Amino acid sequence: MNNEHAGTPDKGGHREHHAHHYHGEDGHHYHHGPWKLNVQGVVIESPRPEITVREAIRQAGFSPDTPWIIILKIAGEAKKEVDLSYVIDLRHRGIEKLRLTPRQINNGETAVKLRADFAMLPQDEEHLDHLGLHWETLVDGGRRWLIVQGYPLPPGYSAPAADIAIEVPVAYPGAQLDMFYCHPALALQSGGAIAQTQQMETITARPFQRWSRHRSWDAARDTLATHLALVDESLRREVGQ
């Protein structure tokens, strides 16, 4: 939990708690408030242990009416997308933050005609469409690529958005999705270097910056959605989010 009551480990690995406690109706032992939550870098306080996503966003100074993609991050658990009505129980150990990403909206304009050299898995196509992004699949030099167009970037980069390329092996999901590639090549506004991004890959005559970011792959669990979570986490980490 991202609050002052979560405690810190002592030398024996146990957590020391410095706040008062109470027993809830369910018999569990809880801490008193105020309860803290990080909402897109803004720490809010709630006098109650339960708060709706809508109220948390409003308290943090963001508009709940903006079409957000809202991700709840809990330590030790998979990130999950939540909606405005979702109730966050701040008593749950490990709650860290709410992350907000603007969802692209089609205001009635004609959709871009996209290339489809091969089909993604149905759940992958559904996830991409749910994000509201334009995307295409293409084969170049015998390699299969998914290109996500205009992927929004967090503040701190040289561009507000980039095209993201992900190589899709023929054996996917048995074979893993690994790394990702950005066009244009990204730089930090701070002038700092981004490690492991020096190599370039040419895809359909366009230069893409290779981000060498890796993780263990579980073919029974991992999908494009979990790989895009890695992409998002990697991009945010470089700008301190």
> What is the model's pLDDT at position 67?
72
Q: Does residue 110 fall inside a structural domain? A: no
State the CB neighbour count (10 A cutoff) for residue 71: 16
Q: Does residue 116 fall inside a structural domain? A: no
Is 39's pLDDT higher than 90? no
Same domain, 168 and 200: yes
Q: Residue 118's Cα: distance from chain center in Å? A: 26
Q: What is the CA radius of gyration of the chain?
A: 21
Beta bridge partners of 151: 162
pLDDT mean over 198-227: 91
- The tokens for 68 are 């957000």
**By C-alpha distance, which of 156, 178, 175, 176 is closest to 165?**
178
Same domain, 40 and 81: yes
Residues 15-24 have pLDDT tens digits of: 333 333 333 4
Number of domains in the chain: 2
- The tokens for 11 are 């030398």
What φ, ψ does residue 39 adopt, rounded to 5°? -115, 100
> What is the model's pLDDT at position 32?
60
> Percent of the chain at pLDDT above 70?
81
Same domain, 27 and 62: yes
**By C-alpha distance, which of 40, 45, 163, 147 is closest to 102?**
40
Single out the residue in 71, 102, 133 at which a domain terminates.
Answer: 102
Q: Residue 160's Cα: distance from chain center in Å? A: 16
Q: Does residue 80 fall inside a structural domain? A: yes
Residues 52-68 have pLDDT tens digits of: 999 998 888 877 877 77
Domain that holds residue 32: 8-102
Q: Does residue 27 fall inside a structural domain? A: yes
Considering the entire predicted model, what is its pTM? Answer: 0.59
